[in-house]
Chains A and B, each alone.
Chain A
Amino acid sequence: MKRPLSSAATSEDRKMKKVKETETDEKFEKIDGVCQKNRGLASFDENMLFEVLKHVDAKTLAMSSCVNKQWHKTGQDERLWELICTKQWANTGCGEQQLRSVVLALGGFRRLHSLYLLPLSKPQTSSSSCSSSSSSSWGPISQQVIRSKPLPRLGKDEVHLSLSLLSIRYYEKMNFNNRNM
């Protein structure tokens, strides 16, 4: 799996956390109402949270920003949203670092996902130009698609489209600011 972070960095982070943990050996935490006295394990620290969130799907990552302030901060992390976006993509035809700097400059992966990638993953619920199936038959199917894990792989065109839309949005905002000056 592609990871923007070097794994060396994360294991180093964990080592630092480890030193802290051994020092707090005697600390006990209430986990699920059961007093885990003398267990000595610190509860999930920020690093462990990040590691778990690396593997969640888009819905869970977005939802996690509502848990508390620390989670909100972690849930907004661009590196996590980059993972979410690129998981869906076929080969974009440009380097990872290059793509990253462009997307970050234009507003970031989180925005890219919520504004332009999310609509692409949703099924067509409204009766579109396709006249074949009746609108009622889309009901249960659309529910299934939202809940199912394997995401539709987005092709090059869809990726380029979403990136273009992100650029347009950025430039629209830019022009608007200039006009006021």
Chain B
Amino acid sequence: MAQEASSSTSSKTISLKTGDGEIFEIEASAAKQMKTVQRLIDDLGDDITIPLHNVFSKELPKIIEYYKKDITGEITKDFEAEFVKDLNDDEVKVLFLAANYLDANKLFEFLSQNIADRLESKSVEYVRKYFGVENDFTPEEESKLREERAWSFRGIKEDE
């Protein structure tokens, strides 16, 4: 759990409270990596439980796991591959949105690459559903655009 660092900088743990009321602990140095959290600490002090309305108990532990590894400087490609291995597309999306909210840059970058990889060879319909966007093209507009980009539609996987 919380390891006492021998350096003079904070070896404290910060309490974070998720939107669904659960409390998690992270080290202050890990909290520093999440700029939103750090801002809240600066405003509220580090003795108070920091409320994170938009992050929930499903995803926060995973985020904490990532930054726990990060502060020891051990994030490798293997670790990152393992980190996302068992996550489905929606779970990654939730983590990505949370990383954005928390202003956790490193995780955000990593997940944007991962989402980009997952989108490879997916259909337009899948992408719309995944991102929750509406199609606002007329059928004519859409078919014209598709025609112009016919080369990009080869090898598209069937939607599950």
Number of A residues with CB within 8 Å of any CB on chain B: 47
Q: Which chain A positions have C-beta within 8 A of B113?
A: 55
How distant is A58 from chain B, measured CB to nearest CB, in Å?
A: 7
How far is B142's CA from A31's CA once the two chains are assembled, in angstroms? Answer: 23
In the complex, the answer to whether A14 meets B149 with C-beta atoms within 8 Å is no
Given contacts A14-B103, A60-B119, A67-B124, A32 and B36 within 8 Å (CB-CB):
no
How distant is B128 from chain A, measured CB to nearest CB, in Å?
A: 6
Q: Which of B52-98 contact A (CB under 8 A)?
A: 53-54, 56, 90, 93, 96-98
How far is B93's CA from A29's CA once the two chains are assembled, in angstroms? Answer: 14
In the complex, the answer to whether B124 meets A66 with C-beta atoms within 8 Å is yes
- A103 located at the interface, meaning its Cβ lies under 8 Å from any Cβ of chain B in the complex: no
- A70 located at the interface, meaning its Cβ lies under 8 Å from any Cβ of chain B in the complex: yes
Question: 0/1 per residue, A114-150, Cβ < 8 Å to B?
Answer: 1000100000000000000000000000010011010
For this complex, into which size category does the number of interface residues on chain B fall? 35 or more
In the complex, the answer to whether B155 meets A146 with C-beta atoms within 8 Å is yes
Given contacts A14-B103, A62-B152, A69-B137, A55 and B112 within 8 Å (CB-CB):
yes
In the complex, the answer to whether B112 meets A54 with C-beta atoms within 8 Å is yes
Interface on chain B toward A: helix, strand, loop, or mixed SS? Answer: helix
Given contacts A39-B19, A40-B19, A41-B54, A67 and B116 within 8 Å (CB-CB):
no
**Total inter-chain residue pairs, C-beta < 8 Å:** 123
B137 partner, pick from A31, A53, A68, beta carbons under 8 A: A68
A66 partner, pick from B115, B129, B146, beta carbons under 8 A: B146
- A59 located at the interface, meaning its Cβ lies under 8 Å from any Cβ of chain B in the complex: yes
Q: Which chain A positions have C-beta within 8 A of B115?
A: 52, 55
Q: Which chain A positions have C-beta within 8 A of B155?
A: 59, 143, 146-147
Q: Which residues of A contact B (CB under 8 A)?
A: 11, 14-15, 17-18, 21, 25, 29-32, 38-41, 43-44, 48-49, 51-72, 114, 118, 143, 146-147, 149
Q: Which residues of B contact A (CB under 8 A)?
A: 19, 36, 53-54, 56, 90, 93, 96-98, 100-101, 103, 105, 108-109, 112-113, 115-117, 119-122, 124, 127-137, 142, 145-146, 149, 151-156
21 residue pairs A–B, Cβ–Cβ below 8 Å = A11-B103, A11-B105, A14-B100, A18-B36, A21-B101, A29-B132, A31-B90, A41-B97, A41-B98, A43-B97, A44-B132, A51-B108, A55-B117, A57-B116, A57-B120, A62-B149, A62-B152, A63-B124, A63-B153, A66-B137, A66-B146
Q: Across chains A and B, which 7 residue pairs bring their CB atoms closest together, nearest first?
A: A55-B116, A62-B152, A59-B152, A56-B116, A62-B149, A55-B113, A40-B54
